[in-house]
């Protein structure tokens, strides 16, 4: 049903993005997206380590959040 995106489609999408945002805004947008992904990645890793610690660590964390 859906076909793979080829190099032509990618070039068209990039051209539209450049036209919409301009060349000066693109580095800003990329930098912001990178920061957002980095924060998301660190939060996901933090949640995984919480789950691996067990229920005791989860209860302690909940108590901390209730007190603070």
Q: List pLDDT tens digits, range 2-42.
A: 678 888 998 999 889 888 888 888 888 889 999 999 999 98
CA angle 44, 47, 48 (to 5 degrees): 90
Name which of 14, 6, 53, 51 is nearest 30 in CA terms: 14
Q: What is the predicted pLDDT for the residue at 23?
A: 81
Give the span between the Cα atoms of 38 and 53, in whole angstroms.
Answer: 23
Domain ranges of the chain: 23-67
The larger pLDDT score, comparing residue 60 to residue 50, is at 60
Q: How confident is the model at residue 46 (pLDDT cuts 50, 70, 90)?
A: confident
Give the span between the Cα atoms of 11 and 45, in whole angstroms.
Answer: 34
pTM, whole model, 2 decimals? 0.45
């Amino acid at each position: 049903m859906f076909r793979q995106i080829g190099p032509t489609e990618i070039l068209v999408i990039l051209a539209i993005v450049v036209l919409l945002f301009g060349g000066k805004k693109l580095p800003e947008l990329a930098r912001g997206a990178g920061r957002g992904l980095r924060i998301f990645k660190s939060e996901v890793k933090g949640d995984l380590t919480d789950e691996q610690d067990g229920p005791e660590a989860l209860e302690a964390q909940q108590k901390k959040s209730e007190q603070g």
